[in-house]
Amino acid sequence: MEPPRHIVAVSGLVTDPLTEKVLLIRSPRRGWEFPGGQVEEGESLTDALVREVQEETGLTVDIRELVGVYSNTHSHIVMFGFLCEWLEGEPTTSPESLEVAWVERDRALERVTNPAIYDRLRDMLDFDGTVVYRAYVRTQETYLIQEEREL
């Protein structure tokens, strides 16, 4: 019997500490979202997130709080969502980010059309110190929440 295999991914909502604006990227596949990606072998979650943000946006960030743990039971992905603070660098695009924009916090959700990304962004924007767990199952049309709880 083969052991289970999961993809581990990280994402982060980057905030400019001076303006309180948040950073969003427009990806070629999912539209507007926050930066993130897969953790490579031998890489810690936080190192992976720092790398992914740098690759997708050109920014250096400091990883802050863990906001949520999310499972996509259809594609076997476990995702960790963090809050990040911008340290240095200027936003730049990449093959993974067609646009990079600082957005007012109260306008960020307006840009996101993917339901699972919308839920995760809302968790990040509304974070009150309670880490959440949510499991998603994919249907033909969208993602449905299969399980949800506070950790």
**Total domains, the chain:** 1
* Domain-embedded: residue 115: yes
- 75 pLDDT above the threshold of 90: no
Beta-bridged to residue 11, according to DSSP, are: 36, 81
pLDDT > 90? residue 32: yes
What gap in Å lies between CA 103 and CA 71, rounded to an integer? 27
Q: How would you classify the pairing of strands 60-72 and 132-138?
A: parallel
**In this structure, is residue 44 part of a structural domain?**
yes
Give me the pLDDT at residue 36, please: 98
Domain interval for residue 53: 7-150
Backbone angles phi, psi at 116, to 5 degrees: -70, -40
Q: What is the pTM of this model?
A: 0.91
Q: Considering the domain boundaries, does residue 2 fall inside one?
A: no
pLDDT of residue 116: 87
Average pLDDT estimate for 4-12 = 93
Mean per-residue pLDDT over the chain, rounded: 93
End-to-end Cα separation, the chain, in angstroms: 32
Give the pair of three-digit tokens for residue 129. 């110190």
Round to whole Å and give the CA distance between 20 and 36: 20
Write the CATH number for 136: 3.90.79.10
Mean pLDDT, range 117-124, rounded to an integer: 96
Q: Is the pLDDT of residue 143 over 70?
A: no
Residue 113 burial (CB count, 10 A): 11
Is residue 1 domain-resident? Answer: no
CB of 103 closer than 8 Å to CB of 21:
yes
